[in-house]
Amino acid sequence: MTSDTQATQTHLTSQQTEALGLIWQVLPQARLVGGVVRDLLKGRPVADIDLATPEPPEQVLATLKKAGIKAIPTGLAHGTVTAVIESAPYEITTLRQDVETDGRHAVVAWTADWREDAARRDFTINAMSRGRDGVLHDYFGGQNDLAQGRVRFVGEAATRIEEDALRILRFFRFQARYGSHQPDAEAMQAITTHTGLLRGLSVDRIWSELKRILTGPAVPEVLGLMERTGVLTALFPEWAIHSLTKIDALNRLVMARARLTRMVEAGAPADAVLRLAALVPDEAGALAQRLKLSNAEVAFLKAVTGEPVPQPGMTEADLRRLLARDSPEVLLGRTWLRQADASGGGAAQAEWLALRARLSAMTPPVFPLAGRDVLAAGYPPGPEVGAMLEQVRTWWLAEGCTPAREACLARLKNF
């Protein structure tokens, strides 16, 4: 155990410090746990604050309410109560021990043993806690692992993975953020042996974790590790669907990862769906359905892998026509995907950069007529309204989307 009260105060905002003071007044045994402890040790700003305490959740809920602190029973079955102070949430979870695990869910019981609670956590860097006195409680060498850039499971890696297979993906996420050298050999071996357990996870949990990997740092490197262990193949069976042999499927996998790597290196935004599209461009519909993406994610994935794609050298009229059909976000996404497929050096990259600058500076044109305008021009209600509107819109597009409302109305009357 080490003491560093000053560090605790330095990297928390005044609002966070005051809120913790209120919580510690009524729950003096509570400790900071998880990400906030890592952030304090690394000197990073703290976004979310989680605490643990030996008191049972019902007692925590009652104690907070009695002190006038807004308390929400966000997960009493899991021992979690959320204190809300100045609109900011502070999750407080009762110390737990695993009674039974099946690779997806755990049956837990409350405990007052801090080491026992720490032992059920995934990685040593997540198993540390810090009390109100600033003392760091580190039972498994997490502080040293954090300093050395080493992501290591608590206890036996295989056991931790068998308890919850999602820890396979969490390992890669934390390796990308905190690993500074070759990944832990025991962890990699255990993951390689247990990739089949990923099939037992819900797709919601997989996509939630995968999004964090795809939008995090060192994406090409961590995907390479996932490829080595067989995790990528397990996550994306789409690569093998249309492959005649295992070698063909492996080649498709390698090409997909290389494509994403080129896109990241070119400076593409850290958008999870865009990066997913780079990995599995030919099976967007099936992939979206399998991973149960949100409606907005499905729409973007299908659109960004579609046509037409803006190209360097297009005229302003060409780009306006594209913007009249698709959003700037979709068109920009298509340029990143196409650039990742295209060959060329710095000159080619400069051309794509210039194209995106032009697209970003343009205001998407809006066709100025609607069905009511056709009716006002004397056409009877019915299918002819849509047909006439489409004829005028086709002319408007051919003119580069520049004719104003008056010109479009005149064109309608001429028809």
Query: What pLDDT does 347 receive?
Result: 62
Could you tell me the CATH number of the domain that includes residue 66? 3.30.460.10
170 in any annotated domain: no
125 in any annotated domain: yes
Element (H, E) at 214: helix 203-214
Query: What pLDDT does 190 receive?
Result: 98
Query: What pLDDT does 100 receive?
Result: 61
216 in any annotated domain: no
Strands 96-101 and 31-33: unpaired
Instruction: List phi, psi (to 5°) of 136.
Output: -90, 125
Query: What pLDDT does 102 receive?
Result: 55
Query: What pLDDT does 414 receive?
Result: 84
Q: Which residue range is the domain that position 376 belongs to?
A: 371-414
Contact 339, 266 (CB under 8 A): yes
Query: What pLDDT does 108 receive?
Result: 75
Placement of tokens 């009524």 in the chain: 26
Contact 52, 86 (CB under 8 A): no
Count structural domains, the chain: 2
Query: What pLDDT does 9 receive?
Result: 47
Placement of tokens 């099976």 in the chain: 283
Query: What pLDDT does 334 receive?
Result: 96
Query: What pLDDT does 285 receive?
Result: 77
Give the span between the Cα atoms of 21 and 32, in whole angstroms: 12
- Radius of gyration for the chain, computed over Cα atoms and rounded to the nearest angstrom: 27
Single residue among 130, 148, 166 that ends a domain in this structure: 148
190 in any annotated domain: no
Element (H, E) at 136: strand 135-137
Q: Mean pLDDT in each 10-residue stretch from start to end of the chain (415 residues)?
A: 47 93 97 95 91 96 97 91 96 86 66 95 96 96 96 96 96 96 95 95 94 95 93 82 64 84 93 93 78 93 94 95 97 96 74 96 96 90 91 96 96 86
129 in any annotated domain: yes
164 in any annotated domain: no
Single residue among 148, 171, 203 that ends a domain in this structure: 148
Single residue among 127, 148, 169 that ends a domain in this structure: 148
